[in-house]
Amino acid sequence: MAHLLVVDDQKSICELLEITFRKEGYRVETATSAEAAMRRLQAQIYDIVISDLRLAESSGLDLLKYTKEVSPSCFFILITAVGDYEDAITALNYGADRYVRKGDKLTEELRQVVRQVDESLKLKKEAGYLRRELRKLTGLDNIIGQSAKMRALFELIHTVAPQTSRVLITGESGTGKELVARAIHEKGARAQTPFITINCGAFPETLLESELFGYVKGAFTGANENRQGLFQAAHGGTLFLDEIGNMSLTMQVKLYRVLQERKVRPVGSTEESEVDVRVIAATNKNLETEIAEGRFREDLFYRLSVIPIHLPALRERREDIPLLARSFLDRFRKAMEKPVDGIDPEALRRLEAYDWPGNVRELENTIERAVALETGRTISVSVLPEKIASFVPGQAVRTASEAAWPELPQEGMDLGQHIQGIERKYLQDALVRAGGVRTKAAALLRMSYRSFKHYAKKYGV
Ligand SMILES: Nc1ncnc2c1ncn2[C@@H]1O[C@H](COP(=O)(O)OP(=O)(O)OP(=O)(O)O)[C@@H](O)[C@H]1O
Ligand SMILES: [Mg+2]
């Protein structure tokens, strides 16, 4: 229930209101002067302040101003003298949320107002709570996926976001590392603070140093003024160090020291300043290999990867391909205002079979291109790039790892029928690829000609 602060220079009124509201279950504290109230406001967070306009030594308006300064969301109720309209208007002009007139009905009116405010506070809290819960269920706004691997990732993001521990995100190119870094920032306590990104691979060493740590006037030719670095700019927030695997060894040493001491020294300066920054780093390199080959410092690696997050390649979670493809289709058809609203089953099969070395980014680009080229209503094989349209799954997929198989649906499934469906599909595929020559098709499936004939008859292929 709401937390109240009652302020009146008449002790008896304080006591009366305290008793009244305590009986209703609120937490109540009192103060008999504006000064005492301000001290309370420094120490405590109140939901509602009820104050008399006329206090012995200062005005309730001073207290009002102070309250809105230190605690803007606090609801402020001013008690004004009977019939004094001018006071009432002043109160509202000063930002009071309500005024209540002194008189017989004072406590009754205050009770009503406080009850309303308390109700709306509860609704607000509930709405916030529900929104957070809903987000947990539906994953993260713009990160799409429903495979077990992605659900585990959502869970992990929700767990690490509220903390400030460093995170190291690894994964192949296009797997969504930047997306995940942003999500961690946005789900965390620092959501309202800056999220600053830098691609460490895109700068020569000296430039990267002054970008990250800033410089002072005269540090080098061209340094005509003091310049803040990204570490200082991200103070209180998150700094995303992308492509950390491309950072030079010298810079790695400097970064290590900053992480260790939480202080940065601008180029050319002798002074260090403290920074409070959550660091999230990402790389598509295998840092263990980089360490083994002397290109990445082991001490920095351990500093950065307090919480390691590895993003699975798209081919390790093919179940997500249809969902991703459809959501990209939706986005591009709207953007291009084209009447393409589906994906032809055969085209979808090719998309699911392809091994996506460029991961989600490649899928995104493929769909964009397909939407642009398609003249019909559904995306067909003909608008897919040749390498995808004609993709032959390699050995690795034929000895399919379990990850490549669809998950057992929630409601269960008819396994016999499912397997028959698979047999039928591959029989057909083999026949097509063998150009209708059945002995060749049988060989493709490592079957005897007799078994092939048996199955072909069974499925009417
Ligand atoms: N799970 C996902 N849901 C929706 N879009 C995604 C997903 N994963 C990646 N994308 C999209 O794919 C593209 C690549 O993602 P991102 O830039 O985060 O990848 P990356 O891992 O940082 O790649 P690189 O290593 O090449 O920088 C972006 O357009 C992003 O929006
Ligand atoms: Mg990236």
- SS3 assignment, position 303: helix
pLDDT for 146 equals: 86
The protein residue whose alpha carbon is closest to atom 30 in ligand 1 is: 176
Residues 316-368: tens digit of each pLDDT: 999 999 989 999 998 999 999 999 988 998 999 999 999 999 999 999 999 99
The answer, yes or no, to whether any atom of ligand 1 lies below 6 A from the CB of 173, is yes
Q: Is the dihedral of CA 421, 424, 428, 431 positive or negative?
A: positive
Spacing, Cα 229 to ligand 2 middle (Å): 21
- Please, what's the largest Cα pairwise distance for the chain? 106
Give the integer Cα–Cα distance in Å for 30 and 28: 7
Exposure b/e, 189-225, CB count within 10 A at least 16 = b: ebeebebbbbebeebeeeebbbbbbbbbeebeeebee
Q: Is CATH 3.20.20.60 correct for 3-128?
A: no
The answer, yes or no, to whether any atom of ligand 1 lies below 6 A from the CB of 246, is no
Spacing, Cα 276 to ligand 1 middle (Å): 28
Out of 144, 321, 361, give the residue to mutate to test ligand 1, the one with the largest number of ligand atoms within 8 Å of its CB. Answer: 361
Give the integer Cα–Cα distance in Å for 118 and 187: 27
What is the number of the ligand 1 atom nearest to the C-alpha of 143?
3
Give the ligand with the smallest distance to the CA of 157. Answer: 1
The pLDDT-based confidence of 394 (bands split at 50, 70, 90) is low
Give the ligand with the smallest distance to the CA of 323. Answer: 1
What is the number of the ligand 1 atom nearest to the C-alpha of 177?
21
Residues 244-278: tens digit of each pLDDT: 999 999 999 999 999 999 999 999 998 898 999 99
For 66, how many CA atoms within 13 A lie in the half-sphere containing its CB?
Answer: 17
The answer, yes or no, to whether any atom of ligand 1 lies below 6 A from the CB of 177, is yes
Look at residue 375 and tell me whether its pLDDT is greater than 80: yes
What is the number of the ligand 1 atom nearest to the C-alpha of 145?
1
Residues 395-451: tens digit of each pLDDT: 444 434 555 677 788 788 888 888 888 899 999 999 999 888 888 899 889 888 888
Q: Which whole number is the average pLDDT over 166-179?
A: 96
Give the integer Cα–Cα distance in Å for 40 and 409: 57
Q: Which of 53-57, 199-203, 376-380 has the lowest mean pLDDT?
A: 53-57
pLDDT for 130 equals: 67
Residues 297-308: tens digit of each pLDDT: 999 999 999 999
pLDDT for 105 equals: 87
Spacing, Cα 294 to ligand 2 middle (Å): 24
Structure tokens at 138: 């539906």
- In this structure, which amino acid lies at residue 400? A
Residues 94-146: tens digit of each pLDDT: 888 988 888 888 899 999 999 999 998 888 877 766 666 555 544 466 899 88
Exposure b/e, 158-187, CB count within 10 A at least 16 = b: bebbeebebbbbbbbebbbbebbbbbbbbb
Structure tokens at 278: 């959550």
Q: Which whole number is the average pLDDT over 173-178?
A: 96
Tokens 């602060």 belong to 5
pTM over 0.85, yes/no: no
Count CB neighbours of 338 within 10 A. Answer: 15
Give the integer Cα–Cα distance in Å for 68 and 91: 13
Residues 202-257: tens digit of each pLDDT: 888 889 999 999 999 888 988 888 888 999 999 999 999 999 999 999 999 999 99
pLDDT for 395 equals: 41
- SS3 assignment, position 12: helix
- β-strand pairing of 263-264 with 273-274: antiparallel
User: Residues with Cβ within 5 Å of ion ligand 2?
Assistant: 178
Q: Which whole number is the average pLDDT over 57-76?
A: 86
The answer, yes or no, to whether any atom of ligand 1 lies below 6 A from the CB of 145, is yes
Instruction: Say which CATH class 148-311 falls into.
Output: alpha beta
Structure tokens at 229: 């670095």
What is the number of the ligand 1 atom nearest to the C-alpha of 327?
4
pLDDT for 404 equals: 61
CATH code of the domain occupying 315-396 = 1.10.8.60
3-state secondary structure 76-140: EEEEECCCCHHHHHHHHHCCCCEEEECCCCHHHHHHHHHHHHHHHHHHHHHHHHHHHHHHHHCCE
